[in-house]
Amino acid sequence: MIQVKNSEQVAIMRKAGRITGEALLKAAENIREGISTYELDKIIHDYIVKSGAKPSFLGYGGFPASACISLNDEIIHGIPRKDRFLAEGDIVKIDVGAYYKGFHGDSAKTFGVGNISEEAKRLIDSTKEAFHRGAAKAVAGNRIGDIGAAIHEYATAQGYGVVRRYVGHGVGHELHEDPEVPNFGTAGRGARLFPGMTIAIEPMINQGTFDVRELKDGWTVVTADGKLSAHYEHTVLITPEGEPILLTDVS
């Protein structure tokens, strides 16, 4: 069932979203060649806890860390490790959630490590733009399909594959709530958007095929063809005024 938040709940979600966005920003400030993904995870964990919240991902379904950190052809759900170090030219996806007073925030971005290829930069920029194309459709009265159609149309026009197996979602009391928010679909179809809905819009865009595979660790998802992938996500509030609010955007 889709949950519509009242003004008091939205106020708490704003705080949860701010903590989430700031934790992601703290990690971004420390991205450099030679740092381990474990160290980045610890920075995120410590900031969330210091802010009076809890890491949403830690222990979720058995996940062993506070953030999902995925490199290069890894799409999502990468497990931070002490022996996994960032290298010049890598692209790193960091997905963060913070749980504050009963509500979650959820956000992800893709970053380059040092000098990255023009192809990698184009993929990152296009994924961010695909998000904004979708978020612009997150307007009361529209439907979920309007969001996915906008993302898919833009990304495929750039020559990319749009991941289908994993999708965005509602977010609030639970980290994953109804409705699902696919990054593909048909405009004018799907659940209608109402003020007070909070959804995570999160395009996962691949350089090549949209097909994916899961590694033996049971978490990490990679591109089926080994090409690069990028991820961009914010928690989005549907408003009565029409303009959606990105609750996790602290830029």
Indicate yes or no: pTM above 0.95: yes
- pLDDT at residue 251, as a whole number: 81
Confidence of residue 56 (pLDDT cuts 50, 70, 90): very high
Q: Which residue in 113, 31, 35, 23 sits closest to 67, CA to CA? A: 23
What does the block give as tokens for 172?
């609030």
Average pLDDT over residues 50-66: 98
Kindly state the average pLDDT of the residues 24-41. Answer: 98
Q: What is the CATH number of domain 7-246?
A: 3.90.230.10
Q: Where are the domains of the chain?
A: 7-246
Closest of 72, 84, 70 to residue 35, by C-alpha: 84
* Residue 159 confidence (pLDDT) above 90: yes
Residue 67 CB partners (closer than 8 Å, separation 6+) = 23, 27, 40, 41, 44, 45, 55, 57, 80, 94, 95, 96
**pLDDT at site 27:** 98
* CA 130 to chain centroid: 12
Mean pLDDT of 75-79: 98
Q: Is a pLDDT exceeding 90 seen at residue 54?
A: yes
Return the pLDDT at 242: 87
Q: Which residues contact 157 (CB under 8 A, 6 or more apart)?
A: none
**pLDDT tens digits, 171-188:** 999 999 999 999 999 999
Q: What percent of the chain has pLDDT over 70?
A: 100
Contact 104, 169 (CB under 8 A): no
Note the pLDDT of residue 42: 98
Mean pLDDT of 94-120: 98
Largest CA distance in the chain: 48
